[in-house]
Structure 1
């Protein structure tokens, strides 16, 4: 399976429904949601870190970041969404996406734009406004697709084309702490939308609707290659390869020693044993990834 870095949707298969998903306790579901959001953000960020390592003449480090990104997307996320039974019918997936895109269009990005203007981050405000408009267009396309899927009338819209944005290493291009926080929130949301839409695309293909699959995949590309990338530029997400490794090591160590062991303990205490196994396995992977990143950093010095 080819590694799905930024700009390359992975070849997904829809997850097998986990029959006990409805019995999962609320806290376990919340912890799985946190795990998914963190994992997909790491996938997107590591793809950018890989590109920077390659630009800086460190192809081995680039491969390490890409391999780890692939694990986040094709293993961890796939296991988590199976546990929560996150993929529904084509109609249900469209309803979920319509609700999400509507909220981003009407509330999230408009609110972020207003706050950025108040704080003097005018270029960030313009970016947030542009993305709000894009999300409105995505919502409208999904609404048209829903009509075609549920009534047989009309056709599924053609997929949008992403305006690919390069993300060089650099400092943040915003000044207000609130804008920086909003950019981080936005990037997590875009990374999650990208991966969910790939899962929805896989389901559409498996149920014989290639036009809908293309719409999901095209929209996913916009979320990652355009929206996430533009936000990453403004946030200064990518730094030197040494700094990127430091950031990855800190994150993975925290996951391995604190976050996922805590989630596993909580899941075990309420009898969610499958989720607990997932959290323990992800913690172990985090420790291995942290060690690999540390080795790469030591060799770089």
Structure 2
């Protein structure tokens, strides 16, 4: 993961990083589905913030590494592509899932929908509209157009989740059909925006879309386990839009993907920083306040990131 790499990646504005009532231990599709619990509420405030930061970074790493894998495929480097994809799966299916369990991110179907409605409303009414206005004022017209389009999409997502909530809580309607994603390819390239604040807003948006995708997949797994397959399909379809359309479009404008050598260097820097600085600091803080489970998670994740750094460095050395 490279949330704290030399390329500063903002995470503070993501509206979906809020705690929900009646949380439950999350699991991704295909994994075990534990019953609801309230573990997230027992965490110290700082520990909870650190766990939430970890979730954002792991979600972003999953998305970015899959884009890096696609570029490695285009360059005829299947082994590197496989490394990126396997690392991405660890970030999502182990690191993020474990952090989400600690934070109590997933709740009942109704609670998950309310959480998503709040996030989508903020992105529709506030975040993306303000990003569009600022990009337009700075002359970044392509970014302004994309932000406006995503704002409209998030409004439609909110409305679909509202209808689903009515179906879940009152049984007066059916769960809407899932949206279809218009997949956006993300080739290697430079940033297509010029203003510093547009670049910063793209970073924030990228993190928000990555986290939304990851959380919606967790919500989908819970919905499917609870027997609501229509809701699970709605979550999964929306998650694809967030990842394959919104995040991908933002990644093109941000110039997120470069040559495979550069992508590997970026990954090495980030994984090393996570292993030696970020997660050890999180573990130290959690230990100091008695959050032993969180401290153990941070230590274990740091060890994983060290292995990732070594594997990615080896792949980079073989390309030189």
- Judge same fold: TM > 0.5, yes or no: yes
Indicate whether 1:223 and 2:237 are aligned: no
In structure 1, what is the Cα distance between the partners aligned to 2:32 and 2:208?
22
Find the residue that maps to 2:210 and give its secondary structure.
Answer: helix
Indicate whether 1:238 and 2:241 are aligned: no
Find the residue that maps to 2:99 and give its secondary structure.
Answer: helix
Structure 2 counterpart of 1:140: 159
Deviation of 1:197 after TM superposition, in Å, equals 0.4
Tell me which of the two structures has the higher relative contact order, counting C-alpha pairs closer than 8 angstroms and 6 or more residues apart.
2
Indicate whether 1:167 and 2:195 are aligned: no
Structure 2 counterpart of 1:153: 172
Post-superposition CA distance 1:73-124 (Å, at most 9, x none): 1100111111111110100000000000000000000010001011100010
Post-superposition CA distance 1:61-83 (Å, at most 9, x none): 00000000000011001111111
Indicate whether 1:113 and 2:132 are aligned: yes
Deviation of 1:12 after TM superposition, in Å, equals 4.9
- Structure 2 length normalisation: TM-score? 0.90
From the superposition, tell whether residues 133 and 22 of structure 1 become closer, same or farther in structure 2 (CA, over 3 Å): same
* Mean CA deviation greater in 18-27 or 139-148: 18-27
Structure 2 counterpart of 1:25: 44
In structure 2, what is the Cα distance between the partners aligned to 1:105 and 1:113?
11
From the superposition, tell whether residues 205 and 243 of structure 1 become closer, same or farther in structure 2 (CA, over 3 Å): same
Post-superposition CA distance 1:113-170 (Å, at most 9, x none): 0010111000100000000000000000000111111111110000000000100000
- The RMSD of aligned alpha carbons is 1.2
Contact kept, 8 Å, 2:29 with 2:220, in 1: the verdict is no
Indicate whether 1:297 and 2:300 are aligned: no
Deviation of 1:13 after TM superposition, in Å, equals 4.5
From the superposition, tell whether residues 19 and 91 of structure 1 become closer, same or farther in structure 2 (CA, over 3 Å): closer
Contact kept, 8 Å, 1:12 with 1:198, in 2: the verdict is no
Bigger helix share: 1
In structure 2, what is the Cα distance between the partners aligned to 1:62 and 1:246?
14
Which runs of 5 or more structure 2 residues have no equivalent in the other structure?
Answer: 1-27
From the superposition, tell whether residues 126 and 20 of structure 1 become closer, same or farther in structure 2 (CA, over 3 Å): closer
Contact kept, 8 Å, 1:162 with 1:218, in 2: the verdict is yes
Structure 2 counterpart of 1:100: 119
In structure 2, what is the Cα distance between the partners aligned to 1:33 and 1:24?
11
Structure 2 counterpart of 1:272: 291
Post-superposition CA distance 1:159-192 (Å, at most 9, x none): 0000001000000000111111110100000000
Which runs of 5 or more structure 1 residues have no equivalent in the other structure?
Answer: 1-8
Contact kept, 8 Å, 1:172 with 1:235, in 2: the verdict is yes
Deviation of 1:20 after TM superposition, in Å, equals 3.9
Find the residue that maps to 2:105 and give its secondary structure.
Answer: coil
